[in-house]
Amino acid sequence: MKKGLLFLFLALSITLIACGQEEDIDTLDKHKGTIVSIEKKNEDSDSFEGWYFMLVISDVKDVNISKKDDDELKELAKEKDGAYYNVPPTIYKSSDLKVGNQVVAYFDKESQAESNPPVRDAEKIDE
């Protein structure tokens, strides 16, 4: 009897944990756009060592991004709903993230830095 209850408790716990993770993605905000720059963080940045810093802008279909420097891309991001994303190495390595790719970045709006363009932590990225 005790083994049956233990098994039932474990099964319910695993189910609740799995369902909770699925719901987390559903509660995140989404940003669809084009990657216009991506670089690996410096080794001296303490909490983000090995992470990537990516700029995603919503509507750049009619813009030649290859001829723009970092300051021009930042200004374009301010005009066209762009945002910087801190991308953990696990997400970066499991994706094929390159400048010019269309992506959907998932993020928690509560953790967004109040800057223009905003800086967000990517929770998930779909290509």
Domain boundaries of the chain, sorted by first residue = 28-126
Compute the CA torsion angle 60, 64, 66, 71 (nearest 10 deg). -70
- Catalogue the E-assigned strands of 9-114: 29-40, 52-57, 83-87, 102-107
What is the rounded average pLDDT for all residues in the chain? 84
Q: What is the pLDDT of residues 107-116, one digit of tens each?
A: 999 989 889 9
> What is the residue-wise DSSP string for 71-94?
HHHHHHHHHTT-EEEEE-HHHHHT
Q: Residue 51 and residue 47: Cα distance in Å, rounded?
A: 9
Choice among 27-31, 39-43, 96-100, 122-126 with the minimum mean pLDDT? 39-43
Q: Which two tokens stand for residue 72?
A: 């021009």
DSSP 3-state of 54: strand
In sequence order, the 6+-apart residues with CB closer than 8 A to the CB of 20 are none
What pLDDT, on the 0 to 100 scale, is given for residue 14? 57
Q: Record the pTM.
A: 0.78
Task: Give the chain's radius of gyration (CA, Å).
Answer: 19
What pLDDT, on the 0 to 100 scale, is given for residue 13? 53
User: What is the fold of 28-126?
Assistant: OB fold (Dihydrolipoamide Acetyltransferase, E2P) (2.40.50)
What pLDDT, on the 0 to 100 scale, is given for residue 19? 47
